[in-house]
Structure formats: structure tokens, C-alpha cells
Structure 1
Amino acid sequence: MHPDPAFRWPKSANDHQDADERAALEAMIVDIGFGMVFAETPDGPRVAHVPVFSTGDGALQFHLSRGNALANHIANGKALCVINGPDAYISPDWYGIEDQVPTWNYLALELEGPVRKMEREGLISLLDDLSAQNEAKLAPKKPWHRDKMDAEKFDKMVNAIVGFEMEILAWRPTAKLGQNKPDAVREKAAAALDATGRRAMAHLMKEFGTR
């Protein structure tokens, strides 16, 4: 999380997040759907890049290949998951004011908590939830479902992975969108960024930079 309070979104204090703020963070998890999970192992810190699923009640689920360096060590310990949103380089020339430096704007969410290993039934439910959630984003395409697979082949694939659930005890969002700049300056930079094709970040700077 960025040390400047201006860039903490919605708030830095976990206990003071209201329902709308939590819903916005949950929506970010659903929209991006992918993160990096970090944890310590006997061989040092390791990271896994994984699709993630929020249960909506304070837990984050994911799965790892049995051969992953984290698979045998992450359960019953704490882990950190980072979900990255849009990001972009910001040129100081775009501000239209003197004595500025280059920077990088970004949206990110850090989640931390203890991890437990899921039973096979929970893992299969997670796989169903992940596919349903992401297939829905492809509408009007007809959703894929594992019923289209040979059941024996599906079982063999499930045997090759392990499911995990993190109890989220800390939500640490960062929205570095130029909030420390005057509105007109930030909007000028956003317009220049939009012209380079980085529309997602430009939109965030325009819409949420003053929140």
C-alpha cells in the first residue's frame, strides 16, 4: 500500500470500510479475477500467479498446481495476495506546470490473511464458480461448463491441483491517480494519457481522482 494517505482507496483503516466501499473492492476482484499470491517457504519467499474468486463474505479462494513451490507450504500460514488494476507511466510534460517529475499511476489491492487447504468438494465448487464467473463476461457466448468434459479426464485434472482459501483479515487498496494534483492539472494529464491509448487509467484519473 502506498505510504501517502492521499492514495489510499477507499480508506486505509480496515474497520471503517462501509458497505459501498467493500462492494467496490469486491467488484475489483471480480472484474480483474487474477492475482499474485506471496508466502514464505523453507527455500525463501515464493509467488504464484493465480485466478482468484471472492466468496463475498471475507474469503478469497484460489488453486495451485501440486508442483507449485507454494503448494506444500502455504496452508496453515499467512499469505499476501496482490491484485493489480490498470497502470500507466505519467509524463511531467502533460501537467502543464513547472518542476514536476515522471511518475507511475496505478490501482492495486493487497489482501492478507491465514490460508487453509480446501477439501476436494470445495475445490470442484471453486472451479465451477471461476468458470461461471468468467464465462459470464463473454456473453452472449453460451457459457462453457465442465459437463462438456469427459468426467474421468476432469477428475485426473482435479487431482493435479490443490485448492486454498484465505480468510481476508486486511484489505489494503491503493489508487494512485494524481489526487495530489489540482483537478485541472490531473485532467490535462488524463487527456494526454487517453490520447496514447491508455484509456482505462485515463478514465480512472478523470472519474475517481478527487475521491
Structure 2
Amino acid sequence: MHPNPAYRHNDQALHEKLISEVAFGTVFLTTPDGPRASHVPVLAYGHDDLRFHLARTNALTPHLEGARALITINGPDGYVSPRWYDNRDTVPTWDYAALELEGTVERLSDEALETLLHDVITTFEGCLEGEPWLASESSETVWSGLFKGIAGFSLKVEERRPTFKLSQRKNADERARITAGVKPELARWMREVSE
């Protein structure tokens, strides 16, 4: 899709909401072996600090420290049918929310990685019903094995390229029909984001 400037929405709160709701992204980097991508849970620490971890054996791990990388956060998306428009003499499109975040990557210290792991567990266990699992339920052997097998990173965001293409340019009646026709999560974002 062409990232039309009309859909750029530079609202920092909107970006943070997407990152916290999705909490999963794709890290892209060109390595000596070619372009590589890794799919990771992502947590924001302030406005311009995204943290994630990878297996030490991941193809990106040895190349990330000090590199300029890209993380994408893909929110809800969906097909938009011309049947919902006043004038059906047009073509289909796709509505979506996405955020590209580019910056320099730093390796996390062991202490910062430990904090990240606990924050990931607390964040995602908190989204589930019932009694949460606690990191303390892992034995020292299991926890230290995990810790030895991963590396933590922080992407210091220097550029943001947000796209919130959510039928904002359609009239109220068309938007109502589109909102009624798409997936509920996309419809919720459509209602929240206005032109």
C-alpha cells in the first residue's frame, strides 16, 4: 500500500497505544548474509525506547548491536469492499494501522534483560484470566538456561513512519457501513481515529 501522507497521524499517544496493544513486532536488518527479519514481543520504555529479546542463535543477534534497524508494528487490518461505498464504480482497498520505527540498536545489560523478561511476563500474564504464572515458579536451572540462551536489545527510535489508513476520507454513512462490515478490532480503531 502507498503510505499516503493523509494517513500519517503523528499523534504520539496513538503510536504508544498501538505498540502496547499489539506488543509484537518484526525486526528487520540487512546482515552480511542478506536481509533478515525476526518476529518478537516488543515493550516500550518511554517514547523512544523499544526493547525485545532474541535467541543468541538468531541470525540477527550478532549483527544488531550498533546497527540501524527497523521494527514494524502491524495493527488490525482488513479488506474494504466497494459495496460499502455510495458509488460502487471504484475498486477495493485495504484499511490498516501500522507503525515503522527506525533507529540504532543497543545491547541490553544482563540487569536490563532481567528486567525486560520480568516485564514481559507481568504484561502478558496480566492479559490472561485466572491466577498468573510467576517467574519464580521456574527453577534456577531453567531460568539461567533461558537467560544464557537469549540476548536483549533496545532500539532507540530516531524515525517514525506511522500509517493509520482507516477510511477517514469517506463520508459518515460510508464509514458506518465499512465499520459494520470489517473485523471488530479494525472497526474499533476506525471509530477511534478520525480525519
- How high is the TM-score relative to the length of structure 1? 0.87
Deviates more, 1:171-180 or 1:160-169: 171-180
SS in 2 for 1:46: strand
**Contact preservation (8 Å) 1:2, 1:174:** no
Q: How many residues align?
A: 195
Partners of 2:190 and 2:13 in 1: CA distance: 20
Give the aligned partner of residue 180 of structure 1.
169
The CA deviation at 1:57 is: 4.3
Match of 2:17 among 22, 27, 37: 27
- 1:1-211 map, 5 Å: 2-9=2-9, 11=10, 21-139=11-129, 141-193=130-182, 198-208=183-193, 210-211=194-195
Percent of matched pairs sharing the same residue = 42
The one-letter amino acid paired with 2:127 is K
Partners of 1:124 and 1:207 in 2: CA distance: 35
The one-letter amino acid paired with 1:149 is S
Q: Deviations over 1:129-158 (max 9, x none)?
A: 11111111224x222221111012110111
The CA deviation at 1:51 is: 0.4
**Contact preservation (8 Å) 2:42, 2:51:** yes
Partners of 2:110 and 2:42 in 1: CA distance: 17
| Unmatched runs of 5 consecutive residues or more in structure 1 | 12-20
The one-letter amino acid paired with 2:153 is F
Q: RMSD in angstroms over aligned alpha carbons?
A: 1.6
**Contact preservation (8 Å) 1:109, 1:173:** yes
Partners of 1:32 and 1:150 in 2: CA distance: 30
Distance 1:207 1:153, change over 3 A: closer
Partners of 1:206 and 1:66 in 2: CA distance: 41
Give the aligned partner of residue 14 of structure 1.
none
The 4+ residue runs of structure 1 with deviation greater than 3 A are: none
The one-letter amino acid paired with 2:116 is L
The one-letter amino acid paired with 1:30 is S
Distance 1:92 1:128, change over 3 A: same
Partners of 1:58 and 1:102 in 2: CA distance: 35
Deviates more, 1:168-177 or 1:90-99: 90-99
Partners of 2:5 and 2:86 in 1: CA distance: 25
SS in 1 for 2:58: coil
